[in-house]
Structure 1
Amino acid sequence: MFVDKVKIYVKGGDGGNGMVAFRREKYEPNGGPAGGDGGRGGDVVFRVEEGLRTLMDFRYQKHFKAQRGEHGRSKNQHGKSMEPMIIRVPPGTVVTDADSGERIADLIRHGDEATVARGGRGGRGNVRFATAKNPAPYIAENGEPGVERWVELELKLLADVGLVGYPSVGKSTLLSVVTAAKPKIGAYHFTTIAPNLGVVEVGDGRSFVMADLPGLIEGAHEGVGLGHQFLRHVERTKVLVHVVDMAGSEGRDPYEDWKQINEELKQYRESLSKRPQIVAANKMDLPEAEVNLEIFRETVGEQVPVYPISSATGQGVRELLFAVADQLDQMPVETDPEMEEVAEPKVYRMEEPEVPFLVKKDNEVFVVEGARVEKLVKMTNFNYDESVRRFAHILKEMGVDDALRARGAQEGDTVRIGTMEFDFTF
């Protein structure tokens, strides 16, 4: 089964917890702090694997969580950081944040990588908090939570040539004639419901990858029929071969078909209408094809190269392939209109919000929301009084106490931050 769009959950590994420990050596029973730091959690990394051609595997596994870092140990031993979790994806995979819609990365070539969920840093052990005033602190941090998010993976096939046209004009037959691909062929619309790829050997040492794409219908740019499922794969092709039923089967007008398909391409993306295009005037072995061909050539003019062919008999196919190969040779080696916009995986950095936290009331409970304060709760080890005092001090410095009072909080009121609840005290 061909799968070209999925939504999955990824989570970087949490950092390991720092440790509270002290040196306990002979003749030095009250040694200084010796709690080690926790290790860093593993990142979630997408890596392109050239042999993959579909996102099928993600239909069965949709959750990916990297390992958390090891906890710190006594004697100032740091916990081990975890290796990244590598997830293999096919070439042409676009990764988008499911919530914001922002593009995270466009993975094109074999070996391309993008980190989509970073692991959290390890919590600091008590040796990190030693000061002249407090040389033996009972303070240690929990590990930082790893980044978690839902992402959408969208596959846009990487092919040199894309076959476009209305259903049942002979695209699949042409692909089966010029390559070793075995697409499903039938005398009814939408026989092809998923793209097929094949390598074309021209015969003079040149070759290129051709994709037979599902047939278009009117309104495809709005998602009608196979719509966007088809059009996303056209974006990456360098040359379009527009297959037209020149015999006018089913009472169709070859010129109107050609015109309508180009309009759909233009409506979906303006740049597609400017992509190099060659018309394959197919079914020339059928009656009325010659007459329709003359009318078609007169109507479209000389700016559009037209090659009469018959996929059934092989007539003109060789000439068409040479024309396509020549067109590809004229294009710069690195030219790919879609890839030029995102030639390298793009890295996005989260901007700090203008308001660091918000205070609201949920019935009788005061709720403090904000990424920084919620992370502070998760990284505070509440088993030690000094850690609790440090937590309260940081909240006060951030202005949380003042914001709660301004909102009407009184002594003993319940305050919720994340999943924890506290009693408000002055």
Structure 2
Amino acid sequence: MFVDKAKIYVKAGDGGDGRVSFRREKYIPNGGPDGGDGGSGGNVILVADSSMRTLMDFRYKRKHVAENGQMGGANNCYGKSGEDLIIKVPVGTIVYDEETKRALGDLRHDGQELLVARGGRGGKGNAHFATSTRQAPRFAQPGEKGEEIWIELELKLIADVGLVGFPNVGKSTLLSVVTSAKPKIANYHFTTLSPNLGVVELDSDRSFVMADIPGLIEGAHEGVGLGHDFLRHVERTKVIIHVIDVSGIEGRDPIEDFRKINDELKLYSEKLASKPQIVACNKMDIPGSEENFERVKNILSKEGYDVFPVSGATKMGIKPMLDKVYNILETIEDEEEIVEVDKDLLYHKYADVKDFTIKKENDIYIIEGPLAERLLASVNMDDSDSVKYFQRVIRKRGIIDELKNMGIRDGDTVKMGSLEFEYYD
């Protein structure tokens, strides 16, 4: 089964807390603070891997969390940083921010990396807070939380050549005889519900990747049937082999089918419709096909198409067609990145987020947010030095100014987590 879309949650590791510790050695009963810093949390990094073909794995595991940093140690020892979490995805995967639907990255090359969530910084140990007047700080800084984000992965099949055509015209059969791919083949419509990939090896020096793309129907550009799923995969192919059934055994007009599919390609994307096309008139082994082929060739050749009579069943005419396809590929340069990636979004997603909010409920001012959480985790209200540090931080970070703007008065109650105190300027 081919899965080309997935939504996953990723979270970077939290930073380790700083340590509260004091030097204790023989003959030094009252040593100074020596608490070390916590380690940084691990990042979450996506890496394109050419050995992967689908996003199937992400259907079963949707939560991915990197390792946390360790707490700092005594004797100014740093805590160990968390390991980065490496998530492998197929080459051709586009990464979107689930919230904004904007592209964060386009992993088109093997080994290409994308940092999607940064680990939190480790907190500072109490040794950092010692001053000439505060020689024994009994508090340390907690580690920062790692970034977290829901992302959408979309795989656009990357192949040099795409086989297109109405259902049941023989695309899967053609792929099976020119490559080692083993698609399921049966005589009914919509046989192929997912793309199949194979490598065409003309000789030791000439090869290319071919994909049998799911068949489409009228209205595909609007999402009808397999619709957008089909067209998404065709977008990145360089050459299109348009397979038509010239046998007429199903009572269909091959020229009419050819027009309808090209109309769908054009309605979806002008760029897609302008890709080079080779016409493969398939099922030439069936009696009566020759007459239809001559009519198709006369019409389409005048329009500039190369038309080849082929048979997937007998392999007739396939090599000349593949030679022509290879010659066209040799003249086509690799396309530049076609996805508009918002590189700033990912790295500034958290930068502009306010780290505290204040709301008033029943004459109580409630302070919430990451800053409030970090302060509560680091402050020891039984220690005067720690309380002074707390007061200095809330003033420096603008909390006092915002309380004043909201009309707070001396004696009013302020709540921060489980901590309640009266405000006095």
TM-score calculated relative to the size of structure 1: 0.88
1:254 is displaced (CA, Å) by 2.0
Matches of 1:353 and 1:137, distance apart in 2: 32
Q: Structure 1 residue 378 and structure 2 residue 379: aligned? A: no
Worse overlay, 9-18 or 96-105: 96-105
SS in 1 for 2:377: coil
Partner residue in 2 for 1:76: 76
Alignment of 1:322 onto 2:331: no
CA-CA distance at 1:312 after TM superposition: 2.0
Aligned to 1:99: 99
Distance 2:268 2:422 in 1: 56
How far off its partner does 1:291 sit?
Answer: 3.8
Q: Compared with structure 1, are the counterparts of its residues 93 and 24 closer, same or farther at alpha carbon in structure 2 (3 Å cutoff)? A: same
Does the 8 A contact of 2:140 with 2:379 survive in 1?
Answer: no
State whether residues 66 and 84 of structure 1, in contact with CA within 8 Å, keep that contact through their aligned partners in structure 2.
yes
- Equivalents in 1 of 2:253, 2:335: separation in Å? 32
For 2:119 and 2:218, the matched residues in 1 are separated by: 47
Corresponding residue for residue 31 of structure 1: 31
Tell me which residue corresponds to 1:303.
304
Deviation at 1:201, TM superposition (A): 1.7
- 1:239–1:344 Cα change, 3 Å: farther
How many Å apart are 1:366 and its aligned residue?
4.8
8 A Cα contact 2:116 2:346, kept in partner = no
TM-fit CA distance, 1:269: 3.0
Partners of 2:360 and 2:209 lie apart in 1 by 60
Q: Offset at 1:103?
A: 1.7
CA distance in 2, matches of 1:376, 1:275: 57
In 2, Cα distance between equivalents of 1:8 and 1:124:
32
Q: Does 1:393 align with 2:384?
A: no
Which residue does 1:221 correspond to in 2? 221
Q: CA deviation at 1:195?
A: 0.9
Distance 2:164 2:271 in 1: 16
Q: Take 2:332 and 2:342, find their aligned partners in 1: how far apart are those partners?
A: 20
Equivalent positions of 1:20-419 (< 5 A) are 20-203=20-203, 205-287=205-287, 289-300=289-300, 301-332=302-333, 335-336=334-335, 339=337, 348-350=346-348, 352-353=351-352, 358-361=357-360, 366=365, 373-375=369-371, 377-378=373-374, 380-385=376-381, 386-409=385-408, 411-413=411-413, 415=415
One-letter code aligned to 1:390: Y
Q: Judge conservation of contact 2:159–2:211 (CA < 8 Å) in 1.
A: yes
Equivalent residues of 1:238, 1:275 under 8 A apart: yes
Q: Say which SS state the counterpart of residue 218 (structure 1) adopts.
A: coil
**In structure 2, how many angstroms separate the alpha carbons of the residues matched to 1:364 and 1:168?**
72
Alpha-carbon offset, residue 414 of structure 1: 5.3
Give % identity: 51
**CA RMSD, 1 decimal:** 2.8
Contact residue 95 and residue 104 of structure 2 kept, 8 A: yes
- Contact 1:93–1:155 (CA under 8 A) maintained in structure 2: yes
Contact kept in structure 1, 2:44 and 2:118, CA below 8 Å: yes
Residues 414 and 147 of structure 1: CA distance in aligned 2, closer, same or farther (over 3 Å): same
Letter in 1 for 2:79: G
- Offset of 1:245 from its aligned partner? 1.8
Residue by residue, what CA displacement relative to the aligned partner does 1:373-414 show, whole Å, maximum 9, x if unpaired? Answer: 524523653451344543443333333334334435564445
- Give the distance between the partners of 1:160 and 1:200, measured in 2 at CA: 10
**SS where residue 258 of structure 2 aligns?**
helix
CA contact (8 A) 1:15 1:146 kept: yes
Structure 2: how far apart are the matches of 1:345 and 1:355? 21
CA distance in 1, matches of 2:391, 2:269: 54
**Partners of 1:375 and 1:163 in 2: how far apart?**
56
SS in 2 for 1:251: coil
Query: For this pair of structures, how many residues does the alignment match?
Result: 418
Q: Which amino acid aligns with 2:323?
A: F
CA contact (8 A) 1:143 1:379 kept: no
Tell me the CA shift for residue 154 of structure 1. 1.5
* Change over 3 Å in CA distance of 1:360–1:345 after alignment to 2: closer
Alpha-carbon deviation of 1:240?
Answer: 1.1
Specify the code of the residue in structure 2 equivalent to 1:218.
Answer: E
- Name structure 2 gaps, 5 residues minimum: none
Give the stretch that moved more between structures: 169-178 or 252-261.
Answer: 252-261
1:137 Cα deviation from its structure 2 partner? 2.2
Question: TM-score by structure 2 length?
Answer: 0.89
Structure 1 unaligned runs (5+)? none
- Deviations 1:114-160 (Å, cap 9, x if unpaired)? 22111111001111122233233233111110011111112222211
